[in-house]
Amino acid sequence: MWSDPPATAEDWFCSGWCTDAGLERLNALLDDPANDARPYDALSAEANTFQLERYVRPRLSPETLKTYPLDNASDPGFLRCQPWGLARNVVARHQLEIRRRGDERLEMRYGEWDARRTAYLDNRPRPANQPPTLMGHATARYERDALVIETTGLARDRTSFRTEHSDQLRMTERYTRSPDGKRLFLSVTFEDPVTLREPVVLKKVWSWAPASAIAPYTGCVRPTDFSTGK
């Protein structure tokens, strides 16, 4: 089982998702003595704004830019307790469990929403009559020390960078481990001819947590008291 990383400036910034541009910005802020008195959260928020504005925004299609960033209060996960699709869950905080089932498939389980998916190792195509789903159709392969998973057949849903993706989204995940085996790194590429001008690459990190367990996701309640535009 993999889980949230320990509290270091870089790993915590990437415990949700980050980009190379955002990390570079965060390190520049941390190395500037003028920022020594500012709390970490303020620097982290500034680096996050930087990666959203300088990295994500230029990669969005004109149509997507019209609604960017989407209001958190209109999120179906928040409003209706609708589980997140893969585009968000793949970089969600909390645990990730990857289990190999023979030569045929990998089973993956996420701490967020207690979501599950299958990635097929036999490169089987998506059935022609299978409609798009929140977790899509995934095939997996090993490339030297990396696990590579490609997913299509994703139903339209939100991304973690506050946009919507279309059902033409293709996600390519690349998982690698640190030399000591204690950290797991993800680089995931989003390609969507409808909502993106260029691919968006997000990064994420987990720590090895053999004792961690995923708790059931049973208490989601639809909100009745909230404000829009926050």
Of these, 26, 86, 87, 92, which contacts another protein (CB under 8 A)? 92
SS3 readout for the chain: CEECCCCCHHHHHCCCCECHHHHHHHHHHHHCHHHCCCCHHHHHHHHHHHHHHHHHHHHECHHHHCCCCCCHHHCHHHHHCCCCCHHHHCCCCCCEEEEEECCCEEEEEECHHHCEEEEECCCCCCCCCCCCECCCEEEEEEECCEEEEEEECECCEECCCCCEECCCCEEEEEEEECCCCCEEEEEEEEECCCCECCCEEEEEEEEECCCCCCCCCCCCCCCCCCCCCC
Of these, 21, 65, 75, 97, which contacts another protein (CB under 8 A)? 75
Instruction: Establish if 91 lies at the interface with another protein (CB under 8 A).
Output: yes
Give the torsion sign (CA, 48, 54, 56, 62): positive
Residue 121 or 214: the one with the smaller Cβ distance to another protein is: 214
Interface mask (CB under 8 A) for another protein, residues 124-163, using x and -? ------------------------------------x-x-
Of these, 26, 44, 151, 195, which contacts another protein (CB under 8 A)? 44
Instruction: Establish if 13 lies at the interface with another protein (CB under 8 A).
Output: yes
Nearest distance from residue 226's CB to another protein, in Å? 4
| Rounded CA separation 164/67 (Å) | 9
Instruction: Establish if 67 lies at the interface with another protein (CB under 8 A).
Output: no
- Asked if residues 172 and 152 have their Cβ atoms less than 8 Å apart, the reply is no
Q: Choose the binding region for another protein from 33-41, 128-136, 142-150, 176-184 (rule: CB under 8 A).
A: 33-41
Nearest distance from residue 103's CB to another protein, in Å? 32
The site for another protein, by CB under 8 A, has a size of 53
Of these, 59, 85, 86, 88, which contacts another protein (CB under 8 A)? 88
How many alpha carbons fall within 13 Å on the CB side of residue 29?
23
Residue 67 or 130: the one with the smaller Cβ distance to another protein is: 67
Instruction: Establish if 185 lies at the interface with another protein (CB under 8 A).
Output: no
Of these, 17, 55, 110, 175, which contacts another protein (CB under 8 A)? 17
Residue with structure tokens 């899509």?
136
| Rounded CA separation 202/115 (Å) | 20
Binding interface with another protein (CB under 8 A): 3-4, 7-9, 12-13, 16-18, 22, 30-31, 33, 36, 39-42, 44-45, 48, 51, 71-73, 75, 77-78, 88, 91-95, 111, 113-114, 160, 162, 212, 215-220, 223, 225-228, 230
